[in-house]
Structure 1
């Protein structure tokens, strides 16, 4: 019995010792893995100070905390590292109390996604905890002492923006940096030279003085502003090295369209922290330029190139590449815009607030998109002078509003759509005359005090042609009521009102009403003549009237023809053949015939159709303090070259829509005769 008991105890002891050894080993590995996890988690969040605290005492003697933090910060910032992930990559090794954990690091850098293997984290038991034995291989696996990490980049060319004829509107070109070389500049006549530069560049002397005082290195070039090489401000400034005034050339974004193109083309600028965060995986860095407005912003991904980049280790005379990418220039975009037409429209709108859009009725190509007032895009890639700043302050920065993609109340230009819908639904007989008396009307007493007014009482019954010519609100309100909300809404939807438009430039969405319904008779009636709550863009209005020059069809609008080269019908068969003839006759008569109310829109030698409209912006029917916007839409139904819609804001007391009519007429005259 004693022997059996002894044997049992021996077996049990052996088992317990083995278990304890295995358990101790597992516990060691578990604590080591925990240390690995802590270290890599701190690394992923750039908590380099906490990483340093996890090093062995020997490692801390090898590198100071400041140097440790500085190296990681500088290197991983320089390579634009983000989204760091770590993964154990192989078997863990335990030998003589030292545990080695192999791992790999994956991250996004300026060279793209980068995965590095062969990292080894060596952990040593110290003060009851596992500490990291550090050397340079924990920056990059093949680094050794005294290696330097370098980054080399070659800037990619940003794509150009061209008009329909290949004329360059925006490209990477040459800018001139005006600056100071303090070592020579401070030798003599400092105040006089500061005054000279300030006057020549139209900037404040304080701006120059503050930059000069902030500089601590007299051999360091101080850039003041960038200017275009042909800028007249450079005529009085020359490269005077001996006086410390330098003019250095650099690559920069150059725009050629002037103010007429500013709101359309936009500009690029230095990336913000927010933009960098939202584009974290696209390879931007804190020194990147990015599209800020207009097509430069909308087509950022197309225009932007990818810089060539190399991350490498410099070891004496050797260059050891860690990762690299080749340069990839951005792609050009070609627009459907006619530069001369864009300039002509903008010149007609000078001094006004408004917008205009012109389209080719047969192709859907957008020939012009203008917002006024606008800006010269070069202002944002060079600098803002005192004169320019004062101009912006004076006009309350109104050029910061992009108007061509905004929606507006259409006013009486809406009467064309009501005419189409009424004819196509058999509600309007063009020869039938409505007996309307006086200047005011309401359907019945349920309307209370609300009445629809018209400007002219012709003293006779009116048919469609009369109603269009006299812009008879009562006639069109009655048509809308006779149609009823369902037919009227369906008719508007056929034209794309309330539908999200597929187009290369973001546009505000049009609406039939605030809730998409016309459930109230007054709202239905008001919508029939263009008040109510209906909202459209100038592009939509130009497209609506283009049906008169394209057999009752609307083409899909196109702006970037380098990518969208094929003409396609967007809305087909909106107007039947017989009704199309009626509508062309009706909406040309009010411009071209004897007794036409819009004779100031006539273009000598051409028959044009169109309609004006004054959209009242007021709180109620009795509001006398509201303002008006003036519309005019014009299209050539015979040659089918252009349909243009223009709106001018704040025309009340200035002639209403007749402020807009001659501007559009001049554009039509120019374009149809060029």
Structure 2
């Protein structure tokens, strides 16, 4: 009898088995990978541990787009050589020295190829005790400086004030009470953080403090209260710069969702307001990452093998044209009054200050906000977080410069001609019904252009506007930049002559002539308009950022012609130099100024008593260095624009003397 015994012979090659393994690897199907392991390998590591280890490592490093290919040159034994490439949070990982040993086994009557596995198949050079680690290589956000190099938003050190529970709990209630009283915060805030903690050895952060905060020594007297140094944003300019500079804070879920490029993560710090937000793209930094194998011996790291590394990228510093001391001076002169002020250099176009009042201290958002501060914000009707210098306002009589220039260009007025104006009220004819234009003073009845400026005669400028006509008025105003975006890297509201750029009736045209009606002008734009008087008729492009390649450029050329400049300049000088001038309070010994007052009446009908905003814009004449415009809201019971004039005078004197 002949007995034939057939031995199972696999049609699968080791390359076939490898391809099945690498396809599962590339798709992160770790369970299928485990199924292809050899019998000895499965004794070496359990399926649960295998899946957990790959999951933790590959998810931790952000592994994606995994590509595995056999190398061209192979030995004839059962070891295959291959290359692995993948993307990670630290960039591309490319490993060309992978070796995988294949073994042929008969399992359940089937003879197939299997993978002989150990830690070298996670990454080459990896042993059982080794760990894959990720290190963040920290970068720094770009800093903001004024024109002289003074820091306005810098990276510095704060103290993280927190609790060491093991010691703090010994006298818990008393300690919480003392801590909340010193910091002026709710007890519940401290209690909640303590309740959520499960490790008595864990430092629980409560608030951040400035390193020179006097509360620190009191806090450290409480048993269990500790402090740690942390890197944080510091704002040396304080309240005067809150609206301009803004602040940084943790990214919100909504902000993260808008990040389609994947620039940020859940722990990112971003600009929230002001220049911190406007210049976010250049100020932001990008942390680097390093993925490495930590070589362990007897529980200690003895070496590391770097798999991938991206270097940190610091943000770009921002140097401004802003003058820190001038900004503070203007803010202090405004003394908490609601309003705004902008100062520029008329010849270079440099923006020297942009002030919103009242404002806030940006440092509160990188330390903490006390209960007293929160209540102060809640109890006031004024919004400290409204950025007023980028708003457009009714300019009142400060707009008369524009009307006068257009009227001179169109020969709508003869500057030396005396117009007969009697009384304080005037209307063109009976078609205006009960509406009349009102002037402040009827001291003189024969009025030329200079008189109209000195006494701020609304009737004269209303007449001039009617002579110009609506079409010419709107068209000629464009040369000053109305209805245009001001070319500066900050969101400034557009100035306008009228809603939808049309008036439609004579009363609105007349009111527009003296800066009422629907005219709106931002403080920056008003300063730019007035700068043309001392800059040969040109308006410079405003410069906010200094740096390589930044140079002075003309934005609007010859907005005031040579034949008009001297006429207008002298009238603006007389507003201050003439004892009857509405700006006479601003007169300085030894420094010749020109300027214009303005009071904008905000009301829906002529007969009602409304809110008034006071304006004053001033500039030096002989060697022009400074133009300052300032608006203060709600001056109806404070003397109108006379509430503003002395403040601007003090600023001019401070800067020019």
TM over 0.5: yes
Does residue 672 (structure 1) correspond to residue 627 (structure 2)? The answer is: no
Task: Identify the residue that residue 268 of structure 1 maps to in structure 2.
Answer: 248
- 1:250 aligns with 230
Q: CA 1:514/1:66 → structure 2, altered by over 3 Å: closer, same or farther?
A: farther
Residues 72 and 139, structure 1, Cα contact 8 Å, conserved in 2: no
The offset of 1:246, in angstroms, is: 1.0
1:215 is matched with: 197
Residue 177 (structure 1) aligned with residue 168 (structure 2) = no
Select between 431-440 and 532-541 the one with higher mean Cα deviation.
431-440
Query: Counterparts of 2:87 and 2:621 in 1: how far apart (Å)?
Result: 60
Q: Supply the distance in 2 between the matched residues of 1:140 and 1:273 (Cα, whole angstroms).
A: 35
C-alpha change, 1:334 and 1:432, in structure 2 (3 Å) is same
Preserved contact between residue 616 and residue 645 of structure 2 (Cα < 8 Å): yes
Give TM-score, length-normalised by structure 2.
0.83
Q: How do 1:271-670 residues align onto structure 2 when only pairs under 5 Å count?
A: 271-281=251-261, 283-314=263-294, 316=296, 319-396=304-381, 398-563=383-548, 565-618=550-603, 620-622=604-606, 624=608, 626-670=610-654
Counterpart of 2:181 (choices 196, 199, 206) is: 199
Cα gap change, 1:63 to 1:665, in 2 (>3 Å): farther
Secondary structure of the structure 2 residue equivalent to 1:312:
strand
Distance change in 2, residues 1:368/1:67 (3 Å): farther
SS in structure 2 of the partner of residue 404 of structure 1: helix
Shift of 1:88: 9.4
Q: SS of the counterpart of 1:633?
A: strand
3-state SS of the aligned residue for 1:398?
coil
Deviation, structure 1 residue 107? 5.2
CA contact (8 A) 2:34 2:50 kept: no
- In structure 1, the residue matched to 2:150 is 167
| TM-fit CA distance, 1:394 | 1.7
In structure 1, C-alpha distance between the alignment counterparts of 2:207 and 2:321, rounded to whole Å: 34
Any idea what SS the aligned residue of 2:631 has? strand
Task: For residues 563-614 of structure 1, give each alpha carbon's deviation from its aligned partner in whole angstroms, at most 9, with x where no partner exists.
Answer: 5631112112122233211111111112211322322222233221111112
Over 3 Å counting, the alpha-carbon distance change for 1:87 and 1:491 in structure 2 is farther
Q: 1:327 to 1:478 in 2, by over 3 A?
A: same
- Alpha-carbon offset, residue 223 of structure 1: 0.9
Question: Equivalents in 1 of 2:88, 2:58: separation in Å?
Answer: 14
Q: Secondary structure at the match of 2:420?
A: coil
1:522 & 1:39 partners in 2: Cα distance?
79
Change (3 A) 1:622 1:477: closer
Whether the 8 Å contact between 1:604 and 1:669 is mirrored in structure 2 is: no
Please list every run of 5 or more consecutive structure 1 residues that lacks an aligned counterpart in the other structure. Answer: 1-24, 44-50, 92-99, 123-132
Task: Identify if the C-alpha distance between structure 1 residues 401 and 222 changes in structure 2 by more than 3 Å, giving closer, same or farther.
Answer: same
For the structure 1 residues 497 and 115, does the alpha-carbon distance in structure 2 shift closer, same or farther, using more than 3 Å as the test?
farther
CA distance in 2, matches of 1:600, 1:70: 80
Q: Is the 8 A contact 1:359 1:542 kept in 2?
A: yes
Provide closer, same or farther for how the CA distance between residues 467 and 496 of structure 1 changes in structure 2, counting only shifts above 3 A: same
SS in 2 for 1:237: helix
Q: Which residue of 1 aligns with 2:208?
A: 226
Structure 2: how far apart are the matches of 1:641 and 1:606? 12
- C-alpha contact (below 8 Å) 1:239/1:246 kept by paired residues: no
Q: Is the 1:336–1:365 Cα contact (8 Å) retained in structure 2? A: yes
The 3 A distance-change label for structure 1 pair 337 and 460 is same
Q: TM-score of the superposition, structure 1-length normalised?
A: 0.81
